[in-house]
Structure 1
Amino acid sequence: MHYQKKHLFIISIMLFLFSFKTMAQKDYKLWLQYDKKTNAELVSKYFKDVQGIVSLGNTETSKIASNELQLGLQNMLGKDIQVNSKIEGDKNIIIGSKAFLSLEIQKEIGNFEVINDEGFIIKSISIKNKNYIVITAKKDVGVLYGVYNFLRLIQTDKSIKNLNIADAPKTNIRILNHWDNLDRTVERGYAGFSLWNWQKLPGFIDQRYIDYARANASVGINGTVLTNVNANALILTPQYLEKVEALANVFRPYGIKVYLTARFSAPIEIGGLKTADPKDADVANWWKNKAAEIYKRIPDFGGFLVKANSEGQPGPQNYGRDHVDGANMLADAVAPFGGVIMWRAFVYSEHDANDRAKQAYAEFVPYDGKFKDNVIVQVKNGAIDFQPREPFHPMFGAMPKTPLMMEFQITQEYLGFSTHLVFLPKLFQEVLASDTYQKGKGTTVAKVIDGSLTKTKLTGIAGVSNIGNDLNWTGHPFAQANWYGFGRLAWNPELDSEVIADEWLRCTFSNEENFIKPVKDMMIESREAVVNYMTPLGLHHIMDTGHHYGPGPWVSNLSRPEWNPTYYHKADKNGIGFDRSKTGTNATSQYAPEVEKIFDNLETCPEQDLLWFHHVSWDYKLKNGQTLWNGLALKYQEGVNQVKDMQNTWNKTEKYVDADRFKEVQMLLEIQYKEAKWWRDACLLYFQQYSGKDLPAGVEKPTQSLEYFKSLKFPFAPGN
């Protein structure tokens, strides 16, 4: 009996470990699941079109491409796919860059000038009565991108008959900004510790580094900033550069360059100098020598990302210099090696009593056209700080002579961390489609950052990473979609977020239409739900301070005015909202006249931005006939109701999703529902003090007092 119990115990442990491994694979594999196709008719069609792979390249990148193609096809089609180096037989997939293609195949492919160096062509051709699918490009990295695109077609049940695809990225730099510290903590990270195990590098290469590179390459991300913008100069010492070099060697075959954050005071902290003045010759030479040292190790090093004179970080203004002086000095250091400087425009000063939203524009726009050619100014999507909703940053319509780089936040610092389901590509698309009127109607933010308006050679889009060492990489299964969606929009800023959601769901979960439609609708609505239960009608930055977890509209005791939520909502007995119109701070004047006119007028300002630009009476009539107070309260309730609807939608998907991920999302949605109610109750109780009005019909009454919500403390909130 004892033996039997022991035997059963061992079996149960083995079954648990097996189920854990299965779960780990599902969660871990992101959108590269390559699940076996079960539709017999569809599989039959794929079988007929794919007999084998002919790989014509011999580089590390081309080997990765052929291995990925073989892995994906074998898993999805359930048959052995051979890789050969010679074209023999029929119905092979030929992969290789233009240089490896015969003149006969090149002629069938046609004009390679329709793509750039990272683009690809996928085409069905016929030569001497033999049919082939060719995946080709000018360079091997383009072939790799083409392979991932082709695999996505099969993952999403698309036809591979008569293919004729030519695609290329619209931006040069498509990059993740990791806010990772050298102690492996991650600022605003909600998915565990940093991926980079500095202690074990360079000798130990974690498989995660390779899978990270695969995932990024699959959506066209071609750069990674390894370190926090609140930089540590130690990363520039030989001890750490050796480790950075090891990561660069892993990422290079996947088309990914490494970048580092440069602490402006590094010449003092690790260089032994007495100053970091950018006009000092010794300082400039120190940076030139440091750049040469880095490029000797890492010939394709991308360059530096710099946060300077912002939130206490050192910068050129410490020495009476300006952003141009600092950026151009660093640009000169990396220019001989083809490097770039990404200079962040996120600046606001405690010494400036003006509207925080106006400060970046005021500091940078006067310098339009004065930065070196290898400097790109990195601008957040809105003028405050990654809020659930912000109007587009006015700088995007005001610096036609300067390359501007979009900075989105993929990690959900102000959107519920990794416990809330929020499909951010909807937010990204809203910003990218905004019209700046820089050169008249149709001058969208997307066209500003992809260089199509000004023919800017240096273009880019950055996303603050949501990736950690959690099993599923991002803390929430659906947060993977934000990494995926960022990559897709960085490749093409005009992609539709619904298309992205559809792709991701099919690649990650299932092609079943009964699953896709309701869950896609849920994803598309999820961002608006968060806006509704956190910051409706243009409210912003009313999160609790420091950790930004939960509501804190009452906070008013911090040393800097613009750190306090009361600074942003300005609620009083007369109304609520920040007056940025001509009667207030006149921030609307930073936009083009056509946009200014819309935002400045209370009657034409979009209601979604109303309290961003105007201080509005509690009795003001909204377009739906409700008073502002009633409308605000009903929006908070609508957000809560939307999360309840999300729960109901997800609960019906159990038969389409593996048990582990189904349960995981189910539990997280329950947390989100409770926290949505927390937001609603705390904010309405606080604002009700000023409105003096009852909650309208349809809004649930709070079950706790305002004092209770004010008393809540979160000393160990993650990511802080």
Structure 2
Amino acid sequence: MRIPRPLLALSLAVALAGSAANLLAEDGYRLWLRYEPVANEALAKAYRNAIGPIVADATSDTAQIALDELERGLSGLLGNKRSRSAPKLLVGTPQSAHIAKLGLDLSELGSEGFQLAQSGKNLVIAANTDQGLLYGVFAFLRHLQSAGSLDNVPLTSTPKIDHRLLNHWDNLTRTVERSMAGASIFNWFDLPYYVEPYYHDYARACASIGINGTVLTNVNSNATVLRPQFLEKVAALADTFRPYGIQVYLTARFSAPVEIGGLETADPLDPAVIKWWSDKIDEIYTYVPDFGGFLVKANSEGQPGPQAYGRDHADGANLLARALAPHDGIVMWRAFVYDFEVKEDRHKQAYTEFTALDGRFEPNVSIQTKNGAIDFMPREPFHPLFGATPETPHTLELQITQEYLGGDIHLAYLAPMWEETLESDTFATGPGSTVAKIVDGSVFGHNLTAIAGVANIGNERNWTGHPMGAANWYAFGRLAWDHELSSEDIADEWTRLSFGNDPNTVATITKILLGSHQTVVDYSMPLGLHHIMYPGHHYGPGPWHDQGRPDWTSTYYHNASERGIGFDRTVSGSNALGQYAPEVVEKWGSPQSIEDKYLLWFHHLDWDFQMKSGNTLWNELCLTYQSGVDRVDEMLDQWSSLQGAVDAQRHARVTALLRRQLEDAKFYKDACLAYFHTFAQRPFPEGVEAPEYSLDYYKNFELYHVPGHPGEQW
């Protein structure tokens, strides 16, 4: 059953009318904000006895949204049986008399933090601002949805990172680069005349997990969005998102002064170019007074940039930063840069360019740096730039959409991968200088702190295509707010909100989630292998790809030959390892001490190299590929066991997707092993199924019109 989004309000009204509640299909549209009735009657009674009338006053649109959400949540969870004689729920800021008289210490909460507390018998949701209040309401409802006890409701929470953004790789044509969840949610052609009702639901979902910014346009976009007729469309979205605490940002095409400004140059030091950008940015703020700023991809993969004029990245970023500074806007300048003409290991190029510029950027510039140095591979060691620019802050860029992890077809919960990056120690100022503490500003004392996630959202009814894909959107928001949360706790939390609190259901789904990322790594690019996907659409294997510029091929990275496999990044090879701190070099510099998960990222080894397990490298590689396939089979069995415990619609869809994932995993394993076997020339170890077809079959297999492929139009 598909319910068009504009009819959502009518659908909900019908669904909430008595027994008609069962008519609403569990299609995933509500995400983690389901507010289903509390199933445990004893717990429901305890909630009703503790949560009585709401005492609040709404003096802003944001405060009204918070109160509406609170009423919606409590009505859904507890029905209309709350006792008016129960203790009050006091909601507000110190500007409200009923909060002011409590004498709460909110001095450490800042503008976004909140406090859940008890005052006598009354429960309290308090914050310094209405935005903090909105976050507090969502946290309180999350606690109730998760069957939390009211005995331990006291909580004080503030975000560790100030700017928490989604990056939409959405085009004005509504195609979405590297997403398989449908077309863009932004209906640009209808804006500003018609604002889709689901824009509010998008903003509400983002606010519920603390996301406070959104970059509306693709990093590879042209300059069209900077034209006045599009700025009024941007303004309509900004007006919609503002009450939810979400600022809008845009990508800035560096060549915009030439493309739409009529200038002959985009040289960042040219006075006419400086004036053009200053005027353009002033114009943007007349449309969007709280415009957040720009995300820029320049001098990378053919995108225009300052180097075309003999300038550097600092010159380019500072041009925009100086024009944005009077408006409190920021620039996020992407570190994903590599020159077509430079033959150096791509792992090294960003570090080489940006460390040389440290200290030259304006205070409102942050280098937006991917978690790893290549390109969102299924697993990468942390980027060496983290900790290497003490005078320049970094925005950590994560990819929520699964460009190299099976798109919205494969189940891959990414919080463990992000947690691995966040907890990595850079040793920048000694032990404990983790990537997380670099990003949150605590290592070098940076005031500008930001984190960004490339969105996996499209106009699919359930937003993310795969019903479990929403877990990654959710996990990104929760980690962006508090990077000390564990991937296990987030998985448990999301499962409870999305599927209910039945112990067996929660245990089964969280187990599936927590093992899923490693599973995808194992059947696609295990033991540190990387960039061996099919060219173009990136869906599926292509270890044989060797055409075109070398660093866009697979063979460049795995270096498979009769002598072994892997990329030597030690001092005997490209020495990319030398960009890390001595403590990291010591650990990763030896194949005996490095973790297996990074082994072939940094080392080229003989097929008979003895692994820590006692297996040869060839046998370990084969067994790892097989274990990835086997675990997808296990995931399918685990999910099948939930039939009847999970609603039929989502159960059927996940079942179908897991079946396809199993076939894809076999294909990935078989194609890679068939190819690598041509070099290793060793038998497949016991327990490993030999490839089903010949290598030629896999090499000649073609997928057409894969969604998200930037070379395709839907």
User: What corresponds to 1:292 in structure 2?
Assistant: 282
User: Where does residue 269 of structure 1 map in the other structure?
Assistant: 259
Give the aligned residue type for 1:265. Answer: S
CA contact (8 A) 1:397 1:592 kept: no
2:429 counterpart SS class: coil
Aligned residue type for 2:95? A
Give 1:683's aligned residue: 672
Cα RMSD (Å) of the superposition?
A: 1.6
Which residue, 90, 102, 109 being the options, matches 1:115? 109
Aligned-residue offset at 1:56:
2.2
Q: Distance in 2 between matches of 1:552 and 1:230?
A: 25
Look up the match of 1:644: 633
- How much has 1:145 moved relative to structure 2? 0.2
Q: Is the 8 A contact 2:535 2:545 kept in 1?
A: yes
Contact 2:318 2:365 in 1 (8 A): yes
Q: Deviations over 1:499-535 (max 9, x none)?
A: 0000000000020111111221111010000110001
Quick one: distance in 2 between partners of 1:610 and 1:581?
11
CA contact (8 A) 2:50 2:86 kept: no
1:56/1:94 contact within 8 Å kept: no
Which residue number corresponds to residue 54 of structure 1?
55
Query: Equivalents in 2 of 1:695, 1:498: separation in Å?
Result: 35
Please tell me the residue identity of whatever aligns with 1:347: V
Q: 1:80 to 1:329 in 2, by over 3 A?
A: farther
Q: Is the 8 A contact 2:332 2:365 kept in 1?
A: yes
Residue 504 (structure 1) aligns with: 494
User: Is the Cα–Cα contact under 8 Å of residues 274 and 319 in structure 2 kept in the other structure?
Assistant: yes
Counterpart residue identity of residue 117, structure 2: K
1:298–1:571 Cα change, 3 Å: same
Taking structure 1 as reference, are residues 438 and 101 closer, same or farther at Cα in structure 2, changes over 3 Å only?
A: farther
Pairwise CA distance, 1:119: 0.4
**1:4 equivalent in structure 2:** none
What is the number of equivalent residue pairs in this alignment?
693
The whole-number CA distance in structure 2 between the counterparts of 1:20 and 1:314 is 54
| Secondary structure in structure 2 of the residue aligned to 1:94 | strand
Q: State the partner residue of 1:10.
A: none
Partner residue, 1:399: 389
CA contact (8 A) 1:70 1:81 kept: no
Alpha-carbon spacing, 1:672–1:546, altered in 2? closer, same or farther (3 Å): same
Counterpart AA for 1:642: R
Structure 1 residue 90: Cα displacement? 5.3
Structure 1 residue 21 displacement after superposition: 9.6
Distance 1:105 1:697 in 2: 73
Tell me whether 1:343 sits opposite 2:333 in the alignment.
yes
Structure 1 pair 239/121, CA: closer, same or farther in 2 (3 Å)? Answer: same
Point out the more displaced range, 88-97 or 59-68.
88-97
How far apart in 2 are the matches of 1:579 and 1:621? 17
CA distance in 1 between partners of 2:349 and 2:487 (Å): 31
Aligned-residue offset at 1:547: 0.6
Deviations 1:187-243 (A, max 9, x none): 001100000101111011111100000000000000000000002201000000000
SS of 2:527's partner is helix
Moved over 6 A (4+): 18-21
State the shift of 1:106 in Å.
Answer: 3.7
> How far is 1:81 from its partner?
6.4
Q: Which has the larger displacement, 364-373 or 303-312?
A: 364-373
**Aligned counterpart for 2:455 among listed residues 465, 475, 482:** 465
Alignment check: 8 A CA contact 2:94 2:100 kept: no
Match of 2:5 in 1: none
Change (3 A) 1:395 1:30: same
- The one-letter code sitting in structure 2 at the alignment partner of 1:96 is G
The equivalent residue for 1:134 is 124
Paired position in structure 1 for 2:543: 553
Alpha-carbon separation, structure 1, partners of 2:523 and 2:491: 22
| 1:66-465 to 2 correspondences below 5 Å | 66-79=67-80, 91-102=87-98, 105-107=101-103, 109=104, 111-126=105-120, 131-161=121-151, 163-465=153-455
Instruction: State the Cα distance separating 1:494 from its structure 2 match.
Output: 1.6
Q: CA deviation at 1:101?
A: 3.8
CA distance in 2 between counterparts of 1:94 and 1:293 reads: 42
Q: In 2, distance between residues paired with 1:347 and 1:241?
A: 28
Q: Secondary structure at the match of 2:468?
A: helix
Aligned-pair identity in percent equals 52
Q: Deviations over 1:315-360 (max 9, x none)?
A: 0001000000000010011110000000000011121111011111
State the match for 2:42 in structure 1. 41
Deviation at 1:161, TM superposition (A): 3.1
CA contact (8 A) 1:551 1:679 kept: yes
Which one-letter code corresponds to 1:183 in the other structure? T
2:467 aligned to 459, 467, 477, which one? 477
What is residue 29 of structure 1 aligned with on the other side? 30
Shift in Å, 1:164: 2.0
Structure 1 distance, partners of 2:413, 2:99, is: 46
Q: CA deviation at 1:80?
A: 5.9
Q: Distance in 1 between matches of 2:153 and 2:511?
A: 30
Determine the structure 1 residue equivalent to 2:616: 627
SS of residue in 1 equivalent to 2:443 = coil
What are the residue-to-residue correspondences of 1:547-626 with 2, within 5 Å? 547-558=537-548, 560-626=549-615
Matched, 1:490 2:491: no
Q: Tell me, in whole angstroms, the C-alpha distance in 2 between the residues paired with 1:643 and 1:302.
A: 42
Unmatched 5+ residue regions in structure 2? 1-13, 710-714
Q: Which amino acid aligns with 2:582?
A: P
Q: Match of 1:33, SS?
A: coil
Which of 658, 668, 671 in structure 1 is aligned with 2:660? 671
Between Structure 1 and Structure 2, which shows a larger proportion of helix residues?
Answer: 1
Deviation at 1:655, TM superposition (A): 2.2
Counterparts in 2 of 1:374 and 1:710: CA distance versus 1, 3 Å = same
SS class of match (2:684) = coil
Aligned equivalents of 1:185, 1:624: Cα separation in 2: 46
CA contact (8 A) 1:327 1:341 kept: yes
Q: Which amino acid aligns with 2:69?
A: E
SS in 2 for 1:352: coil
Residues 1:145 and 1:593: Cα distance change in structure 2 (over 3 Å): same
1:119 and 1:162 map into 2 onto residues whose CA distance is 18
Matched residue of 2:166: which SS? strand
Whether the 8 Å contact between 1:542 and 1:552 is mirrored in structure 2 is: yes
